[in-house]
Amino acid sequence: MELDLIMMILVLVVGFYMAWNIGANDVSNAMGTSVGSGALSLKKAIIVAAVLEFAGAFLLGSNVSETMQNGIVDPTHFMDNPSVFIIGMLSALLATSLWLQLASYFGWPVSTTHAIVGALVGFGIVGGGFSAIHWQEIGSIALSWLISPVLSGIFSFIIFSILQRKVLYALNPTYASKKLVPILAGIVLSTFTMSILLGGVHNLKIELSSLQSLGLALVVGWITYLIAKILVRRIHIPETGELYNKYNLSQQLFSLNKSLKHLQKAHLVAESDTKNEVSSILNSIRILSASLQEKSGYHKRHSEYETVEKLFSFLQILSACYVAFAHGANDVSNAIGPVAAALDAIKYKSLNNSFQSVPTWLLAFGGVGIVIGLATWGWRVIQTIGKKITELTPTRGFSAEFGAAITILVASKMGLPISTTHCIVGSVLGVGLAKGLSALNLRTVREIVLSWVITIPSAAIACMLIFYLVTAIVPT
């Protein structure tokens, strides 16, 4: 009994450390861009991230956690000797923590998810042999690692292309975005509601049919649309477009420029007196057209795009929240899944009647770990990222984040542990492919693929070593 208590505390501590690590390092993916573009202040970003990460972990964390708990290594394989299973889970957590420390020291783009899955497989092989692992599940997880960044990229590409066509390429971008922003806000909130409700929220005992969820999602979206419409109307925007129509300056300018062209032609062919006359007319028209240009704000026209970005910063906050929620839902399992498995094994000492679902308090525990990680270290990373990624302006940021968030949340619902970082990288590439960004470093993609290949066997081997070490010390 003594040993079990020690084990339990150890597992909880390492699990908490993992959650802390996720909060410290990965939350920046969601919030960094919003801070960088100035849509959110650092303080607000941290509060919002804390609330939504916790909500995501608490409400939707169970699906992926259950995969981690019993979807990778088959617990029934260890029925005769549950201590092996407990030690295995502890080794997996320890190996992942060590690997992550090493990776962040060298600055490798390593995914927590990949590391923990690799470690669990490593334990499964040495602890119970090849048959102890659900290879089919591993196959679908590996497939989801490939598909999820690509899917995020495609989503973001489509979203940004729509923004291009509807807003950036519009004749009056400000007007166009004033119209589009409330609609998009409605769509974001609808998909958000839909993705939470579909399939039910077990922790809150909410079970709705697909039709009911759809209805509720539509209602939420509609309400958001109305609220956003009022908010957008209240933002005062100096519209150069209106000024144009009022004085019809553009038409005047256009005609004046035309006459200038013709006069210049006349000036070229004319001789002596006529030439002088024409050039004086030319001069006075030039002055007139210059003064008109000033009035029309022709040169300041690009400030329209600034207004567009200002309007979209509202949407970027929403999409960042969405990512934070999705991140909490998917990544809490990295810490909590193995802990839940180990605790169950300790509690029952036999693995028959456990593994029904992850206890709610454990999800909350993981959520708290993430929030503490964010509060103690994560804010620094958010600040750094915010300073580095100023390129992801609200229109770009929204496209990238929304595309990634949808993918991550769908994967979470399906119980697939994926890497949120890789999804966001895919999304940013998608926006880049749509000509949205000025320079992307494709070497990062190669590094990611490389780290992918290295992380899984490394974590597996590290886990095997730790497992042997612990079994040598602790009598099983």
Partner 1 sequence: MLTIAKLFGKSPFSPLQNHMKKVGLCVKKLTEIFQEIENKNFDKIEALVTELSKLEHEADLTKNDIRNHLPKSLFLPITQTQFLELLSVQDSIADKSEEIGNLLMLCPRNSLRVFTATFQEFFKKNLETFWDARQIIKEFDELLESSFGGIEAAKVKAMVDQTAYKEHQADVLKTAVRKEFFDLADTLTPSAFYLWTKLIDEVGSISHISEKLANQIGMILELK
How many residues can be counted in the chain? 476
Which two structure tokens, joined as six digits, stand for 463? 């886990």
Angstrom CA distances, 378 to 100, 269, 384, stand at: 15, 72, 10
When binding is defined by CB under 8 A, the residue of 2, 136, 171, 211 that contacts partner 1 is 171
CB closer to partner 1 out of 27 and 194: 27
> Which tokens go with 357?
């679902």
Q: Minimal distance in Å, beta carbon 265 to partner 1? A: 9
What's the one-letter identity of residue 179? K
Separation of alpha carbons 57 and 270, rounded Å: 80
**Residue numbers 362-381 binding partner 1 by CB under 8 A:** 381
Which member of 18, 370, 448, 470 binds partner 1 (CB under 8 A)?
448
Instruction: Please state, as a whole number, how many other Cβ atoms lie within 10 Å of the Cβ of residue 216.
Output: 16
87 binds partner 1 (CB under 8 A): no
Identity of the residue, 140 or 279, whose beta carbon is nearer to partner 1 in the bound complex: 279
By CB under 8 A, tell whether 261 contacts partner 1.
yes
- Distance separating alpha carbons of residues 401 and 52, to the nearest angstrom: 15
Q: Which of 4, 74, 239, 391 binds partner 1 (CB under 8 A)?
A: 391
* Alpha carbons within 13 A on the beta-carbon side of 414: 14
Select from 14, 48, 57, 110 the one that contacts partner 1 (CB under 8 A): 110
DSSP 338: H
- According to CB under 8 A, which residues from 300 to 339 bind partner 1? 301-302, 304-305
Please list every residue from 31 through 70 that binds partner 1, using CB under 8 A.
32-33
Give the up-direction half-sphere exposure of residue 332: CA atoms within 13 A in the CB hemisphere.
Answer: 35
Instruction: Assess 169 for contact with partner 1 (CB under 8 A).
Output: yes
Q: Which of 136, 438, 472, 473 binds partner 1 (CB under 8 A)?
A: 438
* C-alpha dist (Å) from residue 413 to 52, 202, 205, 418, 461: 17, 12, 16, 11, 30
> For partner 1, which residue of 51, 270, 288, 437 counts as binding (CB under 8 A)?
437
CB 353 within 8 A of CB 6: no
> Does residue 424 interact with partner 1 by CB under 8 A?
yes
User: How does DSSP classify residue 201?
Assistant: B
The span of 197-205, 320-328, 363-371, 427-435 binding partner 1 (CB under 8 A) equals 427-435
- Please give the residue ranges that form the binding site for partner 1 (CB under 8 A): 25-26, 28-29, 32-33, 103-104, 107, 109-110, 164, 168-173, 261, 264, 268, 301-302, 304-305, 381, 384-385, 388-389, 391-393, 421, 424-425, 428-429, 432, 434-444, 446-448
